Homo-oligomer: A and B are copies of this chain.
Amino acid sequence: MAERVSKGDGELDRDTAVTLRGPGVYDATLSAGWSVGNAAVHGGYLLALLGRALGDQLPHPDPFTITAHYLTASRPGPAVIRTETVRTGRTLSTGTAALVQHDAEGNEVERVRVLASYGDLDALPDDVRTAAKPPEFPPVEQCLGPEDAPDDRPAPGSPLHERLRMKLDPATLGWALGAPSGRGEMRAWFGLADGRDPDPLALLVAVDALPPTTFELGFTGWVPTVELTAHIRARPAPGPLRVSVTTRNLAGGFLEEDAEVWDTADRLVAQSRQLARVGLI
């Protein structure tokens, strides 16, 4: 592991900065550094950006449960976030956020709509009453990232990969060798490339960062997210996260991807589920 930067001072912090323009309205710039291939901006990064704006707008700091519907593909460049406070309670507050951009003709196009309830993770009692255990993971040294691809198989060159430090469990890497496992599973060690420790914003990136489980189910195409809901359950301890994604039901051209994120203290810090579409061949 290389150098570390502080929370508040990393690439994710810089690229999710928002500027209050008027009541509930923020200016933002979608960074090309978080785009996938040459196409859209990464959904987890967008979720972190919207999550940050809502954290600024609402009286509570942390996204306890946040749902995003991805409407159209976001492009690097300027964007506006419009928030609405739905309700302010003692321990939870609820709000919405809409991310909009302008198309080539200058028309406003909505990219993402979010609905979320926020609280204060530090105000929660520390008890854990259930016995869920992290999934089995090989040590990070035995896991593989894009930079480990053999020279004759160049890794796909997404700018996103330079922002993340992600090492996949070889047991879920069959797809990269042309031998998908047939199981709807994907597992990886996850960190930010600049060494910044994880926080709730980083968890919002982590839940949507792994290759789609469809790769291990034998499909190679793009798998756009329709909707993603993440529950942030605890503030993560420093160090790399373990992310496990599973799919039980690929049917009718849609699938769910369930992610669990575990921290170095073996605590389940985030759970998410997304509904995605797959172009069946």
Contact = CB atoms under 8 A, between A and B. Distances in A.
B71 A231 contact: no
A65 B124 contact: no
A208 interface: no
Contacts of A248: 130, 132, 260, 268, 271
Interface stretch (A29-37, A41-49, A250-258): A250-258
Interface of A: 64-65, 67, 69, 71-72, 86-87, 89, 92, 94, 96, 98, 110, 113, 115, 117, 121, 124-130, 132, 184, 217, 226-227, 229, 231, 233-234, 247-256, 260, 267-268, 271, 273, 275, 280
Contacts of A127: 251-253, 280
Contacts of A255: 130
A130 B184 contact: yes
B256 A231 contact: yes
Nearest to A98: B86
Contacts of A250: 128-130
A220 B226 CA distance: 37
A254 B233 contact: yes
Determine how many copies of this chain the complex contains.
Answer: 2
Contacts of A273: 229, 231, 271, 273
A125 B226 contact: no
A266 to B, nearest CB: 12
B71 A87 contact: yes
Contacts of A113: 86, 94, 96, 115
Given A67-B229, A94-B69, A229-B229, A252 B130 contact: no
A264 to B, nearest CB: 17
A82 to B, nearest CB: 12
Contacts of A96: 96, 113, 115
A229 B234 CA distance: 20
* The 8 A-B residue pairs with the shortest CB-CB distance in the complex, in nearest-first order: A124-B252, A132-B248, A129-B250, A128-B251, A115-B115, A65-B227, A67-B67, A71-B87
